[in-house]
Homo-oligomer: A and B are copies of this chain.
Amino acid sequence: MRVVEEQPRTRDASATRARILAAAKSEFARLGLAGARVDEIAKRACANKRMIYHYFGGKEDLFRTVLVEAYLDIRSAEQDLELDHLPPREALERLVRFTWAYCLDNPEFITLVNSANLHRGKHLKESERLRSASRRFVSMVQEVLDRGVADGVFRPGIDPVQLNITIAAIGYYYLTNRFTGTILFERDFMNSKALESRLDFNIDTVMRLVLS
């Protein structure tokens, strides 16, 4: 049982840290690592710039923290899907829907990942925590595939990593390139009908890929 809440302190290290992190996430997502400004992050966090250096060390380290947290967030959300409680087909469809919805609801995630890769992944290299979370995720998908094969609904021999990449790709690409896509293909990528069509198309793509 939570005792007293804790009275509104004028100083609150963890709250300040969290505000900085949120502001940084938003700014790095909006402008990239090079484009984001430390002063602006501090301003938006209603914190003094000095605090960024105090809590995170520097701009690059702040970016690293933001990035790792963003990845841990999605991995954690994936675990909550509880795919093992569903029949294989439904489980897979649920994963496709989730991946799509997550990118839609967390547009910063996409641009952060893009920035991370622009910098050749160097901000992610050390994180064992992330690697093990990813391992869990792959096993989860592997398990769905195995059950599907056992039930005779999925064809055997599908690599869960390739499948994951494809599921992410068909949603992620559409959303990250929505601006150039809208211009080049002269259609609105983001109205609700377009979004619905794309999701349907993606579910269809994945199902045709795995069904036996």
Contact = CB atoms under 8 A, between A and B. Distances in A.
A125 B173 CA distance: 19
Given A31-B34, A178-B117, A209-B208, A173 B184 contact: no
Interface in A49-104: 71
Interface string A115-159: 011111110110100110011001000000000000000000001
Nearest to A71: B184
A208 to B, nearest CB: 4
Given A169-B173, A173-B172, A205-B209, A186 B131 contact: yes
Nearest to A208: B208
Interface centre among A111, A161, A174 (most CB of B within 10 A): A161
Main secondary structure of the interface of A (DSSP, over half): helix
23 contacts: A33-B35, A34-B34, A34-B35, A111-B118, A113-B177, A117-B180, A121-B179, A121-B182, A121-B183, A124-B180, A125-B183, A127-B183, A130-B183, A138-B185, A161-B187, A165-B173, A168-B173, A169-B170, A169-B173, A173-B173, A205-B209, A208-B208, A208-B209
Interface stretch (A1-9, A12-20, A196-204): A196-204
B114 A118 contact: yes
A94 to B, nearest CB: 20
A71 to B, nearest CB: 8
A71 B117 CA distance: 21
Interface of A: 31-35, 71, 111, 113-114, 116-122, 124-125, 127, 130-131, 134-135, 138, 159, 161-162, 165-166, 168-170, 172-174, 176-187, 197-198, 201-202, 204-205, 208-209
A134 B183 CA distance: 10
A131 B184 contact: yes
Given A169-B172, A173-B172, A201-B159, A180 B35 contact: no
